[in-house]
Amino acid sequence: MSASTPENIVIIGSGPAAWTAAIYAARANLNPLVFEGEPVGTELPGGQLMLTTDIENFPGFPEAISGPELMDRVKAQAVHHGTRVVSELVKQVDLSQRPFTITPNYSGAVTAHTVVIATGAAAKWIGLESEIRLAQQGGGVSACAVCDGAMPFYRNKRLAVVGGGDTAMEEAMYLTKFASEVVVIHRRDSFRASKVMANRVLTHPKVRVLWNSQVTEVLGDEFITGLRLQDTVNGSTSEIEVGGLFVAIGHTPNTKFLGGQIDTSEHGYIKVAPWRTSTNIEGVYAAGDVIDDYYRQAITSAGTGCMAALEAERWLAHHGIGEAPVLETGESSIAKAEV
């Protein structure tokens, strides 16, 4: 990489969206450069799948595959096709002039004609050492019930959900398909969720709510065995046996490094054009969980990564940049290559 010669495309991130964009861009001879990030707390290169032990809902894997293995394989596919990788976080970007400037933590800045932002969204955790340890080692703590709840590990057990918003309600309802009982733990005496979602939870025969309660410790060494709770009103403590904990208190999009240059929603997710990945800045695209506060699935992230690469490739071709021309039919060379 060179600061004097602009890159065709720089991809920031390393989850399903980023590596899928890299695969498509590499196969179009765009010589993509990926900044995959570096470990910071619970955030690892590879995204939230790095905290998932078994994935059963990603197409092409009839037998479960672990999150880290899936990310390793997708990254290897991108590298196989010519993707270059820098294992650094990007600390800032300058999108005010072309070519754009991307500045990583340690290396020199690079410039690029197009940029794909696929930095994901970080799950909010309670913040307990025991919680993070069990989440990292696949011990029954998760931030995504739809991703993990159907796994055999959680079936026919009492499962706990922490949270009081719509996401927590959705997670709790989903888990009722597999759990013997779902216990919703909320630190207040009423939910923040919409009345419709709250009523579904409150009237479900498999759901029990512990009001005015907060988790102070996750019990278990290799696998979760229970939770220690504290009453938020009188301070008393108690314990409950559970076979799984799902933390549903929200996500934070990883967009701070953008410095407000990209339009975002009120919750910080990057805004893109309908059914597109283009942002308010021409030549800058966004994909994956950084634009998605609804689905948050590996397969939907991968799909938007594909879309971002296609859009970037077509923008480059339209401006006579890069090696992948647009065909007379208007079909991109990337799309044709996959047929």
Positions marked active-site: 144, 147-148
Look up tokens 């799909």; give the residue. 303
Q: CA–CA separation, 316 vs 327, rounded Å?
A: 13
By three-state DSSP, how is residue 25 classified? helix
Look up tokens 């290799």; give the residue. 222
List, in order, residues 6 or more apart from 261 with CB less than 8 Å away: 93, 95, 96, 281
Q: Which two tokens stand for residue 29?
A: 């001879």
How many other CB atoms sit within 10 Å of the CB of residue 55?
A: 19
* Contact (CB, 8 A) for 50 and 142: no
Query: How far lies 8's CA from each of 26, 31, 71, 95, 106, in Å?
Result: 11, 7, 24, 15, 22
152: phi then psi, degrees, rounded to nearest 5: -55, -30
DSSP 54: -
How many other CB atoms sit within 10 Å of the CB of residue 106?
A: 10
Gyration radius of the chain over CA positions: 22
Please state the separation of Cα 266 from the chain's center in Å.
Answer: 18
By three-state DSSP, how is residue 27 classified? helix
